[in-house]
């Protein structure tokens, strides 16, 4: 019997527009690691105006690549626990938040659950997700559109300014 664990390559988007935004992203990464999930790559930090509901402070965003042996719904449960531990309260859609963690990709899987869609259904429409994603995974192919992240960014019509912060 083979007892080897299968490790998945997953891309997460971290974002914060409340409190000390950069510290919140660092705390999220520390809490993710504490949950037994390995972070294998990190993009730079990017600042952008809020998307969707624009009357709120700008966000700091970062994409991280992780590796773990969880299935998608188990990973979602861990992520929601991380958000809750860091003080996230879900009060309004696209509203201000101290931490937001989205699953962008889970290997090349396409998953549709009531509470989770993978790949994230808005990747192609959000420059703030594509810019850091391209930094660490430009050639990764979107399993629905069959296009690389770099191509998705070239074709993205979102005109929000996305500024890479100095490292």
What DSSP string describes 49-110?
A: --SSS-SSPPEEEEEEEEEES--HHHHHHHHHHHHHHTT----STT---S-EEEEEEETT--
Model confidence at 167, pLDDT cuts 50, 70, 90, reads low
pLDDT at 91 over 90: no
Nearest to 159 by CA among 12, 51, 61: 51
For residues 2 and 13, the model is more confident at 13
The number of CA neighbours under 13 Å toward the Cβ of 84 is: 6
N residues, the chain: 167
Instruction: Report the share of the chain in percent with pLDDT over 70.
Output: 93
pLDDT at 53: 76
pLDDT at 99 over 60: yes
Peptide bond into 119 cis (omega under 30): yes
Distance between CA atoms of residues 45 and 160, nearest Å: 16
Run of H or E including 29: helix 21-34
* SS3 label, residue 145: coil
Mean pLDDT of 140-146: 97
Q: What is the pLDDT of residues 24-37, one digit of tens each?
A: 999 999 999 999 99
pLDDT at 166: 80
pLDDT at 13 over 80: yes
pLDDT at 95: 66
pLDDT at 92 over 80: no
Mean pLDDT across the chain: 92
Report how far apart, in Å, the C-alpha atoms of 120 and of each of 5, 24, 36, 139, 164 are. 25, 22, 23, 17, 22
């Amino acid at each position: 019997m083979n007892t080897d664990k299968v490790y998945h390559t997953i891309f997460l988007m971290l974002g914060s527009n409340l409190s000390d935004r950069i510290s919140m992203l660092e705390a999220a990464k520390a809490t993710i690691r504490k949950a037994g999930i390995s972070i294998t790559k990190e993009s730079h930090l990017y600042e952008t105006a809020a998307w969707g509901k624009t009357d709120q402070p700008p966000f700091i965003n970062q994409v991280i690549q992780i590796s773990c042996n969880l299935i998608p719904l188990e990973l979602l449960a861990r992520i929601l626990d991380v958000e809750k531990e860091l003080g996230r309260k879900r009060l309004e859609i696209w509203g201000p938040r101290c931490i937001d963690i989205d699953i962008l990709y889970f290997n090349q899987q396409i998953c549709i659950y009531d509470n989770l869609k993978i790949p994230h259904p808005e990747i192609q429409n959000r420059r703030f997700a594509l810019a850091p994603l391209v930094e660490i995974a430009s050639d990764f192919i979107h399993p629905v559109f069959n296009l690389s992240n770099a191509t998705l960014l070239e074709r993205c019509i979102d005109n929000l300014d996305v500024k890479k912060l100095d490292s």
